[in-house]
C-alpha cells in the first residue's frame, strides 16, 4: 500500500494546482483542461487485449468474497455459508430482482469451495457436503437462468485461505473447470514464494485456459502481488481480461476513497492499458452492505462507472435496501460504465473539495466525444458544495453543444454550449453523475 505521506503530498500538489486554476483567467484554464481531455481521447491502446473474444465490455455480476468471506460452517449459517445454496439463492435474486436483465450475469464463487485434498487423478474436488450437485450441476443451474458461473483458484501452491492452489496443476485445473462448464476464473496470488515467478505463473494459466478450447473470462491478481517491480502492463493486458491492482475492498467508505486515490495517482499510466477485453479491476461494489451511506454509495457507483470498471457486487440481495438496489439497477449509470470503447475516465480537475472526473463515451463525431462526468465531494461535512463553471471548463468544448442529464436523479439539465455556465451542487461525501451527449446538429436558437 502506498504510504499516506506520499498520497497526501501528491494531493496537496493537485489541490494547489487545481484550486488556483479555478481563479485563473479563462483562456489559461481552458488550455489546462483541453490538455487533460486530449489525453483521454488519444488513449490509443498500446497492445492487444487477451484474444479470447470475451469481456469486450466490463463484466458485471456478483461474487461472494467481501460479504461472505470463508464461512464454511453450514450448520450455524445455512443461509450464508459458502455452498451451492448461497449461489443458487443469489442467482434467483439476480433474476427476480431485475439485476440479470440490466447485465449482472456472472455469479462467481470465491475462495473456500474445494476439499483440502485433490483426488487420485490430481483434480480439485468441490466439497460434496456444501456442493451436493457438483460444480457442473451448479453451472447448469446458472445457464438455465441466463447466468454464468465463475470459480476461484490461485497461481501459487495454495489459495489465501489454504485450499489447493493451481501451481504445477494449471492444465489439469483449467481442463477441470472447462469440463464443469465454468465461465470465469478469478486467479489469486497467495503462496507464490518468489515474486519473479508471478508473470510466468499467470501466463501459464492463460495458456492452459486457451488449450481447453472453452471461452473462460480470466480475472488476474497479477499486478496486486507484483509489488516490488513495475508490472509489465502490456503483458498483463494481453494475458488477462481483467486484473486487480490494489488491495481488497472493505466495507467502509475509507476503503473506497483509498482505492480512488490510488487510481487517480496512476491514471495517466492506467488509461493507456485499458481497452475492450482488458480492464483494470478496482474490486467489488459494496452497495447494499453495512458501510456506505446513500451518498457514499453514489460515489462508488459514479466512479466505477467513470472508470469503466467491472461491476461485481458482493452483498446479500435478499436484504438489500431500496436505495442501493435502485442505484445498482440504474440504466444510465450502467450505460456509462458499459460504453463500447471501454475508455477509462480520469480526474480532470479539482474545485475546492470537488473532484471532477470525465470519461469519453459514445456517441462521438470525428474525434469529439460525448462524456460521462462525475463530481465527487470528498469533504465530509458542511453544505453541498457548488461547482459553477462554463461547460468548456468541464471539458465540453465542442461548439455544437451537449445535452446534459443527471443519471442518479434522472433529470434533464438542458443543452449547454462551451461558454454557458453549469452550476452543480454536490453533497458532502457525495456524488453527481452527469451525461453530456454531443449535439450532432446545431440546435435552432
Ligand X SMILES: *[C@@H]1O[C@H](CO)[C@@H](O)[C@H](O)[C@H]1NC(C)=O
Residues that bind ligand X in the complex, under the rule CB under 6 A: 51-52, 210, 213, 215
| Nearer CB in complex with ligand X: 239/370 | 239
Q: Let me know: does 157 contact 191? Beta carbons within 8 Å.
A: yes
| Nearer CB in complex with ligand X: 218/357 | 218
What are 303's three cell numbers?
466512479
| Nearer CB in complex with ligand X: 243/369 | 243
Which of 197, 248, 323, 425 is flagged as catalytic? 248
| Nearer CB in complex with ligand X: 49/433 | 49
Query: Active site includes 232?
Result: no
Query: Active site includes 75?
Result: no
Q: Report the distance separating Cα 252 and Cα 431, nearest Å.
A: 16
Which of 183, 188, 261, 281 is flagged as catalytic? 188
CB of 208 to ligand X, least distance (A): 11
Q: Let me know: does 111 contact 314? Beta carbons within 8 Å.
A: no
Instruction: Tell me the residue number closest to ligand X, measured at CB.
Output: 52
Q: Let me know: does 177 contact 185? Beta carbons within 8 Å.
A: yes
Which residues sit opposite 188 in a β-bridge? Answer: 154
Q: Report the distance separating Cα 300 and Cα 323, nearest Å.
A: 13
Q: Let me know: does 186 contact 63? Beta carbons within 8 Å.
A: yes
| Nearer CB in complex with ligand X: 166/226 | 166
Q: Which long-range contacts (CB under 8 A, 24 or more apart) does 364-369 make?
A: 364/438, 365/398, 365/400, 365/438, 365/440, 367/41, 368/398, 368/400, 368/438, 369/40, 369/41, 369/438
CB of 174 to ligand X, least distance (A): 10
Q: Report the distance separating Cα 269 and Cα 299, nearest Å.
A: 23
| Nearer CB in complex with ligand X: 52/252 | 52
CB of 240 to ligand X, least distance (A): 12
Q: Let me know: does 222 contact 236? Beta carbons within 8 Å.
A: yes
CB of 154 to ligand X, least distance (A): 21
Q: Report the distance separating Cα 441 and Cα 400, nearest Å.
A: 7
Q: Helices 170-179 & 198-212, crossing angle to 10 degrees?
A: 40
Q: How many CB atoms lie within 10 A of CB 32?
A: 16
Query: DSSP alpha helices (H): ranges in 159-232?
Result: 170-179, 198-212, 222-225
- Where in the sequence numbering do the catalytic residues fall? 188, 248
Amino acid at each position: 500500500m502506498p504510504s499516506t505521506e506520499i498520497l497526501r503530498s501528491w494531493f496537496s500538489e493537485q489541490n494547489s494546482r487545481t484550486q488556483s486554476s479555478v481563479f485563473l483567467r479563462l483562456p489559461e484554464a481552458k488550455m489546462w483542461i483541453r490538455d487533460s481531455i486530449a489525453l483521454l481521447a488519444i488513449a490509443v491502446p498500446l497492445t492487444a487485449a487477451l484474444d479470447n473474444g470475451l469481456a469486450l465490455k466490463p463484466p458485471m455480476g456478483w461474487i461472494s468474497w467481501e460479504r461472505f468471506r470463508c464461512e464454511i460452517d453450514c450448520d450455524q449459517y445455512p443461509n450464508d455459508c459458502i455452498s451451492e445454496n448461497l449461489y443458487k439463492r443469489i442467482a434467483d435474486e439476480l433474476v427476480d430482482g431485475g439485476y440479470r436483465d440490466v447485465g449482472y450475469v456472472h455469479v462467481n464463487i470465491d475462495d473456500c469451495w474445494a476439499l483440502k485434498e485433490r483426488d487420485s487423478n490430481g483434480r480439485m474436488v468441490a466439497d460434496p457436503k456444501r456442493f451436493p450437485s457438483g460444480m457442473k450441476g451448479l453451472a447448469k443451474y446458472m445457464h438455465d437462468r441466463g447466468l454464468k458461473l465463475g470459480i476461484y483458484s490461485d497461481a501459487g501452491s495454495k489459495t489465501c485461505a489454504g485450499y489447493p492452489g493451481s501451481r504445477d496443476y494449471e492444465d489439469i485445473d483449467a481442463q477441470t473447470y472447462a469440463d464443469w462448464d465454468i465461465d470465469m476464473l478469478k486467479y489469486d496470488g497467495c503462496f507464490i514464494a518468489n515474486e519473479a515467478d508471478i508473470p510466468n505463473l499467470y501466463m501459464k494459466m492463460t495458456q492452459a485456459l486457451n488449450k481447453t478450447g472453452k471461452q473462460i473470462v480470466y480475472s488476474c491478481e497479477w499486478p496486486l502481488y507484483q509489488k516490488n517491480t513495475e508490472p509489465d502492463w502490456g503483458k498483463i493486458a494481453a494475458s488477462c481480461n481483467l486484473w486487480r491492482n490494489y488491495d481488497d475492498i472493505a466495507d467502509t467508505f475509507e476503503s473506497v476513497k483509498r482505492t480512488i486515490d490510488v487510481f487517480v495517482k496512476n491514471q495517466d499510466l492506467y488509461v493507456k492499458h485499458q481497452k475492450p477485453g482488458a480492464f483494470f479491476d478496482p474490486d467489488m461494489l459494496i452497495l447494499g452492505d453495512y458501510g456506505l451511506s446513500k451518498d457514499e454509495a453514489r460515489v462508488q457507483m459514479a466512479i466505477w462507472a467513470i472508470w469503466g470498471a467491472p461491476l461485481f457486487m458482493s452483498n446479500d440481495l435478499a436484504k438489500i435496501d431500496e436505495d442501493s438496489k435502485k442505484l445498482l439497477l440504474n440504466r444510465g449509470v450502467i450505460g456509462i460504465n458499459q460504453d463500447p470503447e471501454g475508455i477509462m475516465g480520469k480526474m480532470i480537475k479539482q474545485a475546492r473539495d470537488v473532484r471532477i472526473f470525465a470519461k469519453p463515451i459514445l456517441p462521438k463525431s470525428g474525434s469529439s466525444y460525448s462524456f460521462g462526468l462525475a463530481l465527487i465531494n470528498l469533504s465530509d461535512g458542511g453544505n453541498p458544495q457548488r461547482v459553477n463553471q462554463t461547460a468548456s471548463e468541464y471539458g465540453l468544448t465542442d461548439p455544437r453543444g451537449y445535452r446534459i442529464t443527471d443519471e442518479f436523479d434522472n433529470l434533464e439539465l438542458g443543452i449547454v454550449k462551451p461558454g454557458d455556465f453549469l452550476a452543480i451542487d454536490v453533497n458532502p461525501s457525495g456524488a453527481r453523475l452527469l451525461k453530456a451527449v454531443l449535439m450532432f446538429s446545431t440546435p435552432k436558437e
